[in-house]
Structure 1
């Protein structure tokens, strides 16, 4: 995941972005609070999460 957001500093708080509620729920479900946390999860893992579709992972 971190390759999708390569310019975010590791300490960047993901909550500071204006995410749609579905995106925010996924972040909370996977305990992704900082940009550095994105390096701990894969897109495949996200796609196996309930209510996640390619629309979420492709909306960059």
Structure 2
């Protein structure tokens, strides 16, 4: 599933995100979605979320 569609992402899903400081390298951070921060239905760079760990980034892959 694509991380660019808001409808694909729900709190509790395990995802890989790119943190702001990792955008140049593309390093992925894995975690569980706590809250969706993007209000629009889709975003070309990925929906912005906050993980349960408190980290904020854009979803690149949905794991579960």
Structures share a fold, TM > 0.5? no
TM-score (norm 2): 0.25
TM-score (norm 1): 0.26
Q: Which structure dedicates a bigger proportion of its chain to helix?
A: 1
Larger Rg: 1
Q: Which structure dedicates a bigger proportion of its chain to strand?
A: 2
